[in-house]
Every structure is written in structure tokens, then in C-alpha cells.
Copies of this chain bind each other. A is one copy, B any other.
Amino acid sequence: MDRIPILKMGDFLLVTIQVDLYDQLAETLESDLVNMVKKYNSRGVLIDISAVSIIDSFMGRILGNISTMSKIMDAETVVVGMQPAVAITLVELGLPLKGIHCALNVERGMELLRSKIGFDNQEETDDDDSDLE
């Protein structure tokens, strides 16, 4: 496994993380993602972590990096499918994934992305608040 596949779905990109991220794999994913955002002129990135049972600080940092990079490239990032146990552990460990938008599943994530893109088009304000849902 040398890279995580990225699927193009209309204006959005979808990544399903099923394996443990190590340094090289995470780096490849980050560069692949920003390249694809540029190539396909994507407006949003969906990261599905429903198969991830442990999120540590490394994984949290990678998600934050991807979100920030995409934002710089004018694309929003939404993390979807987090398992309830993972959410509990994250908060108990004091890792509330600040700055990362979350949604329950892919469909709700797409809705959130669409609303964000619409909002940006109307007001063009660059607010940094995190709305962890």
C-alpha cells in the first residue's frame, strides 16, 4: 500500500482512510490531494474515517494539515463517519480536532460542503471558527 486512492465526485474529492497512516503515506496523501484539487478545480474534500478505530495526535495533525492546505487552495474539508467511540476518546484525551469540520456521514458531509461553498460565494468572509458537529 503506497498511496490512498482519491475519488473524484463532481466538484468534490472523496478519500476513505482504511489503513494506519504512517509518515510517508500521510505525506503522499497530502500532496496527492492538493494536486488533485488543482487538477480538477475541486471545491471540497470529504475524508471518510468510518474504518478508523483509533485517532491519535499524529492522525489529528494530518487531518488538520489537509484541512489547512485545502483551505489555502480554496477547497473546504469535511471529515465524515467518525465512530462514536472515537469521538468520546478524542474529547477525553483533549484532542477536540479544532478547525476541522465534521459530519455524520458522506451525504451530510456533501450537504455541509455545498452550504459552505454557497456561503463563501455570497459573503467571502474568511472566518476560522470550527464547527465540530
Contact = CB atoms under 8 A, between A and B. Distances in A.
Given A1-B18, A7-B50, A8-B105, 5 more contacts: A4-B18, A5-B18, A5-B51, A7-B16, A14-B14
A5 B107 CA distance: 15
Contact of A19 (B8, B9, B19, B106): B19
Contact of A106 (B1, B8, B18, B48): B8
Contact of A51 (B3, B8, B50): B3
The A contact surface, by secondary structure, is loop
Interface in A1-50: 1, 3-5, 7-10, 14, 16, 18-19, 48, 50
Interface of A: 1, 3-5, 7-10, 14, 16, 18-19, 48, 50-51, 81, 105-107
Q: Which of A1, A7, A48 has the most CB of B within 10 A?
A: A7
A53 to B, nearest CB: 9
Contacts of A14: 7, 14, 106
A67 B78 CA distance: 31
A25 to B, nearest CB: 11
A10 B81 contact: no
B51 A1 contact: yes
